[in-house]
Structure 1
């Protein structure tokens, strides 16, 4: 079989000028339409420059609307401006226990002797290093943290700091222990979804740097913008741009067609699953819903609680995660049937 005996584009004939700008982790030099939010973040950090205590901040909003990028942008500019403040970023989805968070911070501050040491011992070492200066600690996906004690430890043990927490859940503070809440007392900053014209401008800029001129025409670019606006997630647009470019190259074309874009849109289901990492309980809850699709929320909770013995609040948080990531839908049938208990359905 001549699997590779085809008329592929050569390395110097690619449609991509710089494919990296379509990566989710790419941080542009200027973060458009998040200037006010970045200014807010900078304002809570500013007292640290004068040797005073900064404020803590809770950032909320849907996925893919610039929360993480805005924080990373401010950290980058802060570190360029002063060596007196240490910037730390931890993804709590990847580092979901107190020990993992502390080890991650150890690596970022250059402390290498972590073997055979307990969490509290490592926390003491971190405090010695960070308390020589000031620190801005960003805890992204904070709602995925299984042990909130590390938040309390950071608040208590680091003297001059700002702790910035990022979450998709508006009610995150409500689930924290009262002692942690009372020590944090964070300001709140909510990110709203991008408007249509903002999405268009952001993707237009990425398109300009990602592709050679003439590769993606306006008529084929428009459906990508529309789909991204529909999903309210800028990562959707980046994914579609990249996949449409790959589709064009697969047929040895130097331009992206409408068919290439539709192929990329057709792969959205794979993208939706790949951008979401569910914990074990969320996976089990999704399995329960799959087996009992159409049952009431109360019934689903009853089955879930039999297995995990968790509170209704925890259940609804995990249900919201599945809904937010479009795995399920919750329908209120009150007007149709008079039912006051919404039903949960697996999305097909």
Structure 2
């Protein structure tokens, strides 16, 4: 019996890093076409020309970020004039924050913490590129977050039109978009888009066979033999396809294996996977809530608490939510409505219009209010 139990100093993980969301695998399959297109877009930068601009579009968990990071890692290995800079716009979603990251990559240090204007940082970036004869390619991951913060034009304009103020600078942009409702040609200022003119590279959802292949490779690399049977892997694939997000599958493998370890078992069982899925299926919600500012989280909390208190047949209109929110936080109506539109764009709430006397805006949550309140703690 003891042989079937995992000892306190034993583990089922050969390499736990393999199951992290930001892990870039050595072998990256099923996105060869998109990688070739991206490589073609940035190719002019190797010769000192301006890289072509691109939009990587696809649902969350379809390989967009990994493709770009894999390509940038390859660029870093080459002795070339091209300097790749990856920006996570969920974290850095202002003009100053984006250019501070670019400055750090070029200068090897953060800009001064205080007393430094955007113009000074931009000037330092441009001068560095000219002096070192470098070409910049900037990836704006989850660029839709710049839209939610009304920063997209403020970021793209200086990047794409830098050659007007600093002749000789060469900068290309890759925008990664996970919100399929976003159309940058409509959202971006015409003066910006006329220079942007991006090539769109589409990342379709992975098929069940592709998900199976990807997850089986991670299992082979990350777990010891026998830790996960073929039938249990099939169950993980089935649950992953329900969510349509490969990241859910990776998180599910990690949590299910941890559950088996906690029970001191040498093999992952069905119950481990089912229990893990209860958490993993909310991966998108967890990540999204983390990116919100304090006042945005406070408003989500108010909406969730109101949702718990009302009857299922009742509606929450935007005016009523605002009146309730004012009793908990300092919030003007203009800022309130900006946040509501952002939460709708981020798919945390539904903002719909009901026709009656005028057009009443109705708010409803996309997730169970109890789960949201748990994650906000």
Q: TM-score, normalising length from structure 1?
A: 0.84
What stretches of structure 1 of length at least 5 have no aligned partner? 1-6, 334-340
After TM superposition, give the deviation of residue 278 of structure 1 in Å.
4.3
Report the counterpart of residue 338 of structure 1 in structure 2: none
Q: 1:320 to 1:209 in 2, by over 3 A?
A: same
The CA RMSD measured in Å over matched residues stands at 3.2
Distance in 2 (CA, whole Å) between partners of 1:181 and 1:310 is: 27
Q: 1:48 to 1:342 in 2, by over 3 A?
A: same
After TM superposition, give the deviation of residue 296 of structure 1 in Å.
6.9
Matched, 1:90 2:100: no
Residue 88 of structure 1 aligns to a residue in which SS?
strand
Q: 1:260 to 1:314 in 2, by over 3 A?
A: closer
> Could you tell me which of 36, 45, 52 is aligned with 1:39?
36
> 4+ residue stretches of structure 1 with deviation over 6 A?
293-297, 310-314, 329-333
Q: 1:258 to 1:273 in 2, by over 3 A?
A: same
Report the counterpart of residue 215 of structure 1 in structure 2: 227
After TM superposition, give the deviation of residue 187 of structure 1 in Å.
1.6
Q: 1:296 to 1:129 in 2, by over 3 A?
A: farther
Judge which range, 152-161 or 63-72, deviates more: 152-161
Matched, 1:309 2:334: yes
Report the counterpart of residue 319 of structure 1 in structure 2: 344
Matched, 1:347 2:352: no
Matched, 1:232 2:244: yes
What stretches of structure 2 of length at least 5 have no aligned partner? 164-168, 324-330, 355-360, 369-377
Distance in 1 (CA, whole Å) between partners of 2:172 and 2:79 is: 15
Matched, 1:263 2:275: yes
Matched, 1:19 2:16: yes
| Conserved? CA contact 2:89–2:143, under 8 Å | yes
Distance in 2 (CA, whole Å) between partners of 1:166 and 1:318 is: 19
Count residues with an aligned counterpart. 332
After TM superposition, give the deviation of residue 317 of structure 1 in Å.
5.4
| Conserved? CA contact 1:90–1:138, under 8 Å | yes
Note the alpha carbon deviations across 1:194-235, whole angstroms, 9 max, x for none.
111111100000011111111100111111111111111111
Query: What are the equivalent positions in structure 2 for 1:47-66 lying under 5 Å apart?
Result: 47-66=44-63
> Could you tell me which of 2, 7, 10 is aligned with 1:9?
7
Q: 1:301 to 1:169 in 2, by over 3 A?
A: farther
After TM superposition, give the deviation of residue 282 of structure 1 in Å.
5.2
Note the alpha carbon deviations across 1:68-93, whole angstroms, 9 max, x for none.
00111111122223322111111111
Judge which range, 79-88 or 17-26, deviates more: 79-88
Q: 1:195 to 1:301 in 2, by over 3 A?
A: farther
Distance in 1 (CA, whole Å) between partners of 2:120 and 2:270 is: 58
Distance in 2 (CA, whole Å) between partners of 1:126 and 1:285 is: 38
Distance in 1 (CA, whole Å) between partners of 2:233 and 2:108 is: 47
Q: 1:113 to 1:20 in 2, by over 3 A?
A: closer
Q: 1:30 to 1:113 in 2, by over 3 A?
A: closer
Q: TM-score, normalising length from structure 2?
A: 0.78
Report the counterpart of residue 279 of structure 1 in structure 2: 292
| Conserved? CA contact 2:90–2:291, under 8 Å | no
Distance in 1 (CA, whole Å) between partners of 2:93 and 2:122 is: 16
Note the alpha carbon deviations across 1:133-190, whole angstroms, 9 max, x for none.
1121111121222323122111122622321011222424122223222221212122
| Conserved? CA contact 1:289–1:346, under 8 Å | no
Judge which range, 274-283 or 79-88, deviates more: 274-283
Residue 172 of structure 2 aligns to a residue in which SS?
strand
Judge which range, 157-166 or 222-231, deviates more: 157-166
After TM superposition, give the deviation of residue 66 of structure 1 in Å.
0.8
Note the alpha carbon deviations across 1:284-310, whole angstroms, 9 max, x for none.
66446533676779x448966995427
Report the counterpart of residue 374 of structure 2 in structure 1: none
